[in-house]
Structure 1
């Protein structure tokens, strides 16, 4: 991705990864439970949703600061990654080691995740993160244009703490985009997150029911928007993206690509969409770019790259349409 996107240079972003990980990506021909496997590829990467989103935004020209919690024992990979990305490292260091998550990727693109719980935190650790956040919010030269929160919460931190963090950022007049799931998603919605990005499974969990088809997904998306979220972005893999907000209801269908690894696709989509919003692009342009960038990401390990030689073709082959101008809060009231 190019770093020469001048229109984004005045839009700094802060990303928060409370529970990052080193991703151990193992490529396999096919996963057979209980069998001996020989890996076709092995890669260890500093990751976590907030880190992945930072990688996308930094490559697109945004000044980015990353924060959250890292274990002192194995932070070298993160330090190197942040230097390569060109982002500011404001992570709180804790005793111990950052977790390692294992991603088993088969040739057909299916990924099996084995996620470790993460470092156990105490209240004083969380307070250190809040202090770091307050420092950046209170100083004009450090103040971000947006905050992205990604991933799960570490052991020892209740979901309600996320709500307090979101409320603190919103009180400073800064939009908060959150990509999380389960109870943390419910808390983020109640706290008034400006944007959330569930996949279909996470949306079904929030709604408390199965979502067997497009109509059911559409209805649950309306309900989530009506709950007070500024923008709802629902990712459904090859079936496309639904984006509902003040700009109306939009849908996109990605271009057909050979799927190799889907791990960073959602993070790429969300960060790419924020990029478009911060650049004040039209809804169609922003969604087209984010969808194409996400499609580029699934072709390899890592986030999407807008410098790919055929990225203009991916943009052209991404279908975007506006469905309607429904005011969901009025409909669902």
Structure 2
């Protein structure tokens, strides 16, 4: 198995709350609630660890409430090389309704100083030692500019390692200043990167191919919510459509998709086999809180029910929140 370094620059505690229906301005009684140390790169690492890989976690972590994160890393046997900074890691609230709709309330995170960022830059080369692939996931914390992020990405890319990227907001535009191995946007993020609306499947297809053709990313893994995902490389495209499942919480679905696809890549699988596996594991994920579980009793059944799409990209109005 491989050794993967997963970066999360702006981790969070995820407070997942289940309720029947969200009605703003009223009092709600939660059906269940759960507070977990998380962050997109950390979620990716947890899935990769369950798939048998060695995982190293890096990024920027608030010192004041770091203990639960370190306990998670110890329990799941993931090495931490996080740079700790002054302040508290943020809390993100995920409100999951009975029909599968999720509303996110995301905190900003601690403010990163120039000294904090320089510490990460200086530590990066030694953090990459012995690593087979790098994942960069999540938003930028306050104090880190798009240009700062782009220059750091260049360090990762220049290492010669595969760099898989899943970000949004200002960090997404940094991809224009380098060439990552794979970019994993959802429909909204792809539109944000291109700077215009993508109202139908033809627009999405053209936009993903533009990202590859522009040299910003060698590959694009486009997540489409209930319609699964598409993998673009060169002039080729593969789409996998998941089986129907009862959707409970979609928070970690995109992270699970990326981790499972990277597992397939590192295992030497074909694009079709890797995408089929990734979409099946993302479908397993949305049935509960937390990352997908490849050891689920019915995972083989889910995998068998994944359908490969037609050459015309199929989309769904249901999107996996990132």
Provide the TM-score with structure 2 as the length reference.
0.94
Name the counterpart of 1:107: 98
| Number of residue pairs matched by the alignment | 311
- Consecutive unaligned residues of structure 1, counting only runs of 5 or more, are 1-8, 325-333
Alpha-carbon distance in structure 2 between the residues aligned to 1:283 and 1:244: 9
Alpha-carbon distance in structure 2 between the residues aligned to 1:57 and 1:190: 28
8 Å Cα contact 1:15-1:148 kept in structure 2 = yes
Alpha-carbon distance in structure 1 between the residues aligned to 2:289 and 2:241: 21
1:29 aligns with 2:20: yes
Alpha-carbon spacing, 1:79–1:314, altered in 2? closer, same or farther (3 Å): same
| 1:208-232 Cα shifts (integer Å, max 9, x gaps) | 2221221111111111111211110
| 1:161-196 Cα shifts (integer Å, max 9, x gaps) | 221122111211111111001331121243111111
Match of 1:318 among 303, 306, 311: 306
Deviation at 1:143, TM superposition (A): 2.2
| 1:110-153 Cα shifts (integer Å, max 9, x gaps) | 1110001001001110111122211133xxxx321110000001
Alpha-carbon spacing, 1:76–1:13, altered in 2? closer, same or farther (3 Å): same
8 Å Cα contact 1:66-1:91 kept in structure 2 = yes
Name the counterpart of 1:3: none
Alpha-carbon distance in structure 2 between the residues aligned to 1:111 and 1:237: 12
Alpha-carbon distance in structure 1 between the residues aligned to 2:223 and 2:179: 20
1:210 aligns with 2:227: no
Name the counterpart of 2:124: 133
Name the counterpart of 1:302: 290
Deviation at 1:244, TM superposition (A): 0.2
With 169-178 and 286-295 compared, the bigger mean Cα shift is at 169-178
- Consecutive unaligned residues of structure 2, counting only runs of 5 or more, are 313-322
Name the counterpart of 2:181: 194
The residue correspondences of 1:1-333 to structure 2 (distance < 5 A) are: 9=1, 11-137=2-128, 142-228=129-215, 229-246=217-234, 248-321=236-309, 323=311
Deviation at 1:322, TM superposition (A): 7.1
8 Å Cα contact 1:284-1:321 kept in structure 2 = no
8 Å Cα contact 2:139-2:171 kept in structure 1 = yes
Alpha-carbon distance in structure 2 between the residues aligned to 1:196 and 1:293: 19
8 Å Cα contact 1:190-1:227 kept in structure 2 = no
8 Å Cα contact 2:6-2:57 kept in structure 1 = yes
Deviation at 1:23, TM superposition (A): 0.4
Deviation at 1:107, TM superposition (A): 0.7
8 Å Cα contact 2:209-2:235 kept in structure 1 = no
Q: Secondary structure at the match of 1:74?
A: coil
Q: Secondary structure at the match of 1:117?
A: coil
Alpha-carbon distance in structure 2 between the residues aligned to 1:15 and 1:162: 15
Provide the TM-score with structure 1 as the length reference.
0.91
Alpha-carbon distance in structure 1 between the residues aligned to 2:203 and 2:277: 26
